Structure 1
Amino acid sequence: MVIAWQEFQPIGAIATTPSAVRHLQPLCQAVGVHLWIPEALQADFPDLPVYSGSLKDHLAQIWPQYRSLLFGLATGAVVRLIAPLLKDKTTDPAILVLDEAGKFTISLCSGHRGGADRLAGLVSHMLGTTPVITGASAHLGLPGIDILGTPFGWMRGTGDWTGVSAAIAKGEPVRVIQEVGSTLWCDRLPDGHPFRFGFAESAQTEAEKARVWISFTQRQFSPESEVPKVQWHPRVLWVGVGCERGTPREVIEKAIGQVFRAYHLAEGAIAGIATLDLKADEVGLVELCGDRNFPLTTFQAHTLRQISVPNPSAVVDSEVGTPSVAEAAAMLAAGAEQLLVPKQIYRAQPEEVPVHAGKAVTVAIAQAEYEYTARLGQLYLVGTGPGNLDQMTAAAKSAIASADAIIGYSLYIDLISPLLRPGQIIEALPITQEKQRAQRAIELAQWGLTVAVISSGDCGIYGMAGLVLEALQAQGWDGKTPGVQVFPGISALQATASRVGAPLMHDFCAISLSDLLTPWEVIQRRLTAAAQADFITALYNPKSQTRTQQIAIAQSIFLQYRSPQTPVAIARSVYRQDEEIYLTTLEKMLETPIDMLTTVLIGNSNTRTLGEWMITPRGYHLGQDICQPED
């Protein structure tokens, strides 16, 4: 199962007609959807779970069990069923509807926060339906303002989210003031977008109809303001903590909260807690980090003492071997050379804590350059096939549609553009920068993003899969973080073969004529071996503007061992709009246009042509009963 589906699990589905069941059944096996049917359909579908009684009562019973629900019902009926159960868009499940004909997948409810819009895209790729997204931001080609920072782990702050969303939907000017956090979200905004980027000190203008703050500051918005405002908090603040042994979690949390309020900082901007390694088992710290989803980073005393801090303590040095815990730990965790907030000492009143419990907490804060995403990054290595979306697997489409970032050669990105969605990071690098693509993808995945690296054909055949894995290995990858998933695609040799018949019915091989990564002497030896062994041979990268002689040399090598009349297929841009297919012979193959977008198939000694078709016998004899096993 594609990892992208996991965030929507568990997924439930309900179908009340045989056709709706058949439309939804592929999702059960492919991605683990739990499909419910009424008792009346049990005889036709005995392996599916059955509900009895009214659907309204059954839905109320299973509603808390699922993060997403997909209905094979009329939209009106679904609206009446779910209306009494809806509470808040922050907690309601994603609701989707599949029409009776199985042509449309409708994102009905919780499109942004619940992920119904993205799930509709995944379902559509799997079932071959058309996604119906009615949200205004999607229509404008914009990410929803309430999910803008989700890929980067930002925390949603206070504000009038409905008012700001309404202003964006109307196309009204919206001021964006970003003080910290990644700006990758705004690199691919469509022309005519409503955002106006400014600074905090800029005065509000009459044209400004809404405002978005992206910062670590906690702002208080007046409910009487005529301009709706919201705030996102990138997690860039590392909190250094020192405390007495046995300090309760409540005291540590109160100390942090007091410091943040005093300096007008948002607790949503906390990246994590940093301290001395002796505090790794401090119960109060461990509980706080577990409950608040904070990473707890610890450092040894000799590491901390190397950091120059503004407020060292000889007392602390004598007790734990370093003159600073909170300040030094915050700076190390953040990778900062100075503090945002120097150490503040909080002492709990005796009545606040049990007898013999720790009462003193030291807090310091440093700002990191990059936000903490709190996500496990993923690398999707995707083969897009020949370039026609119909030739891609549903899993490959889902991987691309769900990824936070897409990296690839610009031509290949253009070919899969219908799969892209608003808010995705798109980075196209030139065809000669494969290593840079691999490194950039790894960098983003290590940061916590889900990155799809696309290759034409199959990503594991002269594609990016091997290069990415090699780069990971060189960096000491543990095989787990970031996660890697490979999505195969139809290779160029398969696509070419399908256009000319059945030329690959016997043993074959593929050889790239590009000597950028392989010495030409090695390529020549492989060509000779393939020709001598009578392999059907696919030639990749046969000719470029500067590399013109290799294809002629390849032809001369094969002419030493094959008949001049050996069938040859030459295919350019297979399954694309400018596709060109030629059937010729080994002797005349150079008379046909050949370039880097061309694949050449040279038949073996038994390959023949039949009209416009190229056929290589498998070795069977017509009328013979004994057959070899199929592959």
Structure 2
Amino acid sequence: MSGKISLVGIGPGHHDHMTGRALAAIAEADVVVGYSTYIKLVADLLEGKEVIRKGMTEELDRAVNALECAREGKKVALISSGDAGVYGMAGPTYEVLFQAGWTPESEIAVEVVPGASAINACAALVGAPLTHDFCSISLSDLLTPWPVIARRLDAVAAADFVVALYNPKSGRRTQQIVQAQQLFLRHRRPDTPVAVVKSAYRRRERIEFTTLAHMSECDIGMLTTVLIGNSHTFVQHGLMVTPRGYANKYDLDDGGNTRSGEKPGRSLSTGLLGWMADLRADHAEGASAAALAAQHRLPVDYIEAVLAAPAEEESAAAAPLEEAQE
């Protein structure tokens, strides 16, 4: 008998924010497996279905149960809040499947049904904080060594990403958010905007705007996502916004006309080609590769490679006239 496992992301949990395919996958399922809190969020969709509830740390058990039911020819919806592939059940389930000898050609079909992750839900509630480069880091050290997490925090803080912190604090894990704050303060201003969002789009939703200096003082728990802005993020009229960078090319006070030295559809004068030209000029005037590396906070060997690149590589890089995104 052939069964099926649907790895369903239910988004924040409210039906309004679930995709049509997520609703259909649950409707089609004979069995629904999930963490008990997530089961409660979709309880009104489960009438007449076999329901398997599991605890917080029983992810592998959920995957094993789903596989066992699928082997019996049943259609299984294994649910995750947010997106099943973002700190969700997709990864553990594939690990269990591979360990059991499953392949995509096997009689058990597997579908990943995407959903809105917490980073999307929380960002929508507070404004537009993710308009420029961003990343997410989980502070849970239940499965990841803390030095690995700390190195990632330090790297993204220095790189000026907007950062979403998942699993920031629990009853027993209280110092991780403090350590994260300390690492960020090494690279970011104390007044960097921070949004703390608890239970986005759920009954106990709570939003608090604060700063990096006071972030760890907020009411933070396992149902909280912490959004840390970059050096350009601002809060105005109760909305957190990260500029995309249009002001670098266009004069927003002059009808959006292109700034002097810039061209629509072309890289910034401080983009790759302009920067390479400036780098070569500074080097020709006597600046060492080490000094240039320190100035731009980049590895010395990278600066040396850029300086050593033949001029024709720059011409080839200049060929496309339009950028993929403005």
Q: Do the two structures share a fold, i.e. TM-score over 0.5?
A: yes
Superposition pairs of residues 589-608 of structure 1, within 5 angstroms = 589-608=215-234
Distance 2:135 2:117 in 1: 13
Select which of 111, 126, 130 maps to 1:500: 126
Distance 1:468 1:437 in 2: 8
CA deviation vs aligned residue, 1:27-76 (integer Å, no higher than 9, x gap): xxxxxxxxxxxxxxxxxxxxxxxxxxxxxxxxxxxxxxxxxxxxxxxxxx
Contact 1:565 1:587 (8 Å CA) reproduced: yes
| Residue equivalent to 2:9 | 383
**Corresponding letter in the other structure for 1:442:** L
Distance 1:602 1:441 in 2: 36
How far did residue 421 of structure 1 move? 2.7
**Corresponding letter in the other structure for 1:477:** W
Larger relative contact order, structure 1 or 2 (CA cutoff 8 Å, min sep 6): 2
CA deviation vs aligned residue, 1:90-131 (integer Å, no higher than 9, x gap): xxxxxxxxxxxxxxxxxxxxxxxxxxxxxxxxxxxxxxxxxx
1:437 aligned onto 2:62:
yes
- TM-score of the two chains, using structure 2 as the length reference: 0.77
Superposition pairs of residues 612-631 of structure 1, within 5 angstroms = 612-621=238-247, 622=252, 623-624=256-257, 626=264, 629-630=324-325
1:555 aligned onto 2:164:
no
Distance 1:561 1:555 in 2: 10
Gaps of 5+ in 1: 1-374
| Residue equivalent to 1:453 | 78
Select which of 127, 139, 145 maps to 1:513: 139
How far did residue 376 of structure 1 move? 1.1
How far did residue 418 of structure 1 move? 1.9
SS in 2 for 1:517: coil
Distance 2:63 2:146 in 1: 25
Overall identity of the aligned pairs, in %: 54
CA deviation vs aligned residue, 1:413-445 (integer Å, no higher than 9, x gap): 1101122232x1101001110110011101111
Superposition pairs of residues 368-379 of structure 1, within 5 angstroms = 375-379=1-5
| Residue equivalent to 1:463 | 88
SS in 1 for 2:213: coil
Contact 1:534 1:605 (8 Å CA) reproduced: yes
CA deviation vs aligned residue, 1:378-432 (integer Å, no higher than 9, x gap): 000000001111000010000011100000001101101122232x110100111
Superposition pairs of residues 482-493 of structure 1, within 5 angstroms = 482-493=108-119
**Corresponding letter in the other structure for 2:205:** E
Pick the structure with more helix per residue.
Answer: 2
Distance 1:488 1:478 in 2: 21
| Residue equivalent to 1:531 | 157
SS in 2 for 1:489: coil
CA deviation vs aligned residue, 1:508-561 (integer Å, no higher than 9, x gap): 111000011111110000000110111110000000100100000000000010
How far did residue 624 of structure 1 move? 3.9
Superposition pairs of residues 332-411 of structure 1, within 5 angstroms = 375-411=1-37
Select which of 541, 564, 578 maps to 2:167: 541
**Corresponding letter in the other structure for 2:156:** A
Superposition pairs of residues 321-332 of structure 1, within 5 angstroms = none
Contact 1:455 1:464 (8 Å CA) reproduced: yes
Distance 1:489 1:527 in 2: 26
| Residue equivalent to 1:573 | 199
**Corresponding letter in the other structure for 1:582:** E
1:476 aligned onto 2:101:
yes
Distance 2:325 2:43 in 1: 37
Distance 2:154 2:55 in 1: 33
**Corresponding letter in the other structure for 2:238:** E
How far did residue 475 of structure 1 move? 1.3
Distance 1:590 1:386 in 2: 24
Distance 2:230 2:70 in 1: 44
**Corresponding letter in the other structure for 2:217:** E
Aligned length: 256
How far did residue 630 of structure 1 move? 4.6
Contact 1:571 1:580 (8 Å CA) reproduced: yes
Q: CA RMSD in A?
A: 1.3
| Residue equivalent to 1:522 | 148
Contact 1:401 1:421 (8 Å CA) reproduced: no
| Residue equivalent to 2:291 | none
How far did residue 502 of structure 1 move? 0.4
